[in-house]
Amino acid sequence: MKRNAIFSVLLILLMTLSLGAQEQTALQITLDEAIRIAVERNHDLAAARFEVTKADKQVKEAFGLALPSVDFAATYSRALKRPVFFLPDFDDPESGRVVPIQIGSENSIDLTFSATQVLFNSAVFTGVGTAKIYSEAARDIYRAKENEIIANVRRAFYSVLLAREGSAIMRSTLQNAEDNLNNARALAEAGLISEYDGLRAEVSYENLKPDVMKAEDDYTIALNSLRIAMGVSADQPIEVVGLLQPEIVDEVQLTNAVEDAVKMNPSLEALRKQADVNEAIVSIERSNYLPTLSAFGNYQMQAQKNQFNFSTNDFIGSSVVGLNLSFNIFKGFQTNARVEQATLDHRRSQEQLAAMESNLRTQVESMILRLRWAQKQIGVHEKTIAQAEKGYRIASTRFASGSGTQLEVNDAQLALNRAQVNRVEAIYQYLLAATDIEQALGGLNTPTGKIQ
């Protein structure tokens, strides 16, 4: 029996240690840390990095078309039956017969070195510049995607802070209601308040419990949204580090925000470069009307033998250099159609650029209005909270002395709760507006060391 008891204790201890090892420690997350994790793990951003690398390789490819092309070719052939040509029968000219004469050798080797250099081709030279513009556009697209990811993480992080503040406010409100309920019960037992006021205190306390539970659920939902934005697993416990405080935006920055956004917004800049690429494509298609001039040269070494025992002395060399001029005279109106298509693409991109610029100006102006409105609300609600706290203290004191009613306490508590919630909501809206403005300005990017 004693041995079984010891075994049971050891088993329970091992199970406890195993469960403890399985518990994950909550990950302490600051805003900067959340952004870093999201940038490292986001799949769309990784795909954008590959696109930048691909664009760089296309620049090298386009530049390579302007460089000389050098080729080497080697051919070996074995004549299973050598070719012939026919000559008159010189032994009997009167017969009119012809005699087949074998030519060539059973084994032949042909070595050729050739080089070609484009001297003039408008499409080649324009393509180099076009590829560089496309590479720059790919970088702008990457920065826009990174900007978007960081903005989403900041919004999710601020939502967690808001939900945490809201949960804390509701727990504090519930504690006040509980304290008030205890006072009401004591006063009711002493006969200093009516039964109705006691019931009101109890109902007010019970009504707050679902609100506290909802606030805690909102906090959990906000944490899940942050996990998704960061790209971490759903079962990873996280705990945010930080306070919901407004980060004051420079007034000079707000004054110049609209024009700065038009100049620096990465999405707009990418579209601007895309319009430049489309314009260059028009030139490339038009270059098909122009001639192509290239220089060429080759060096050839040949050898033939009936036995496969070649030496360097068996090879005979020959070389040639020259110029090649090609000019398309008619191609079934294909060139004209391609030029018109490229022109339409360029015009379409210009219209898209104009529309996006106009929308961006309007959006930034709205963001500034939202930010300034939220800034004013923060100051107003801070004053309101001070007044509401004073009113709640007065109502509680009056109720405790028997000169006030539970209704007054409930109204004061509701006013205090609303003022506190309105303040944190105003700060949250201010931070969202500030994030939107910085995203429009392209100022949310963080150096990753991977894209230059």
The domain that holds 381 is classified in CATH as 1.20.1600.10
CA–CA distance, 443 with 452 (Å, rounded to integer): 16
Bridge partners of 107, per DSSP, are: 78, 305
Tokens of 331: 């191609």
193 by Cβ neighbours in 10 Å (0-12 / 13-18 / 19+) ranks as: buried
Q: How far is CA 303 from the centre of its chain?
A: 61
Q: Is residue 13 part of a domain?
A: no
CA–CA distance, 303 with 305 (Å, rounded to integer): 7
Residue partners of 290: CB distance under 8 A and separation at least 6: 120, 121, 122, 327
Cβ–Cβ under 8 Å, residues 99 and 165: no
Residue partners of 385: CB distance under 8 A and separation at least 6: 416, 419, 420, 423
Cβ–Cβ under 8 Å, residues 127 and 65: yes
Q: Domain of residue 170: give its range.
A: 143-291+334-444
pLDDT of residue 401: 77
Q: Is residue 308 part of a domain?
A: no
**pLDDT averaged per 10 residues, the chain (length 452):** 51 49 69 91 86 87 85 91 81 77 85 92 82 88 91 94 91 85 80 77 86 92 92 86 83 86 92 90 85 92 87 88 87 84 92 94 94 91 87 84 77 85 92 92 60 41
Helix, strand or coil for residue 147?
helix
Q: Is residue 118 part of a domain?
A: no
Q: Is residue 21 part of a domain?
A: no
pLDDT of residue 409: 79
Cβ–Cβ under 8 Å, residues 140 and 266: yes
Domain total of the chain:
1
What is the DSSP code (8-state) at residue 256?
T
Bridge partners of 109, per DSSP, are: 76, 303
Q: What is the total residue count of the chain?
A: 452
pLDDT of residue 64: 82
pLDDT of residue 451: 41
Which one-letter amino acid corresponds to residue 413? Answer: Q
CA–CA distance, 315 with 301 (Å, rounded to integer): 6
Q: Is residue 150 part of a domain?
A: yes
Q: Is residue 408 part of a domain?
A: yes
pLDDT of residue 447: 41
Q: Is residue 106 part of a domain?
A: no
Q: CA-based angle 60:62:63, to the nearest 5?
A: 65
pLDDT of residue 66: 83
Q: Is residue 155 part of a domain?
A: yes
pLDDT of residue 254: 85
Alpha-carbon distances of 449 from 44, 49, 446, rounded to whole Å: 17, 11, 9
Model pTM? 0.76
